[in-house]
Amino acid sequence: MNHQDTHSKVIGYLLWIFGFLGSHRFYYGKPVTGTIWFLTLGLFLIGWIIDFFLIPAMDREADLRFQSGPISYNLAWILLTFLGVFGIHRMYMGKWITGLLYLLTGGLFLIGVLYDFWTLNDQISQRNAERPLG
């Protein structure tokens, strides 16, 4: 069985601690429900509690959905979560111009950081799928 492990259950459960804000759902590539969790405090904490049991399935789904490669989803998500306004996660992915732009503008005035919470998994998957020429 060819299984790629793009996401970590450990990171998923650590983010679940703050999951009433949707962080673990964003991590596993579920931005719509992540936003709903953020706006409703994890569906009034009920969805947050249920997610404790759903994390293994979300992890398996993310592993199948996203492309593995040299860019680590775990490291990129940690960088985005804690240093997003400084653009460090973008620099890590090789996106130096937008990384520097984030650094100078507070993550493009936080709008860019919010965009990255919605799209980071797809950005990493696309970068990992790119093959160097030559």
Position 3 scores a pLDDT of: 63
Length of the chain measured in residues: 134
Position 27 scores a pLDDT of: 97
Q: How far apart are CA 94 and CA 107, in angstroms?
A: 16
Residues 6+ apart with CB under 8 A from 129: 67, 69
Position 1 scores a pLDDT of: 44
Residues 6+ apart with CB under 8 A from 68: 4, 5, 6, 128
Mean pLDDT of the chain: 93
Domain ranges in the chain? Answer: 9-65, 73-129
How much is the pTM? 0.89
Give per-residue pLDDT as tens, 11-24: 999 999 987 789 99
Share of the chain above pLDDT 90, in %: 89
Q: Please give the average per-residue pLDDT across 41-62, as a whole number.
A: 96
Q: Please give the average per-residue pLDDT across 52-66, as a whole number.
A: 97
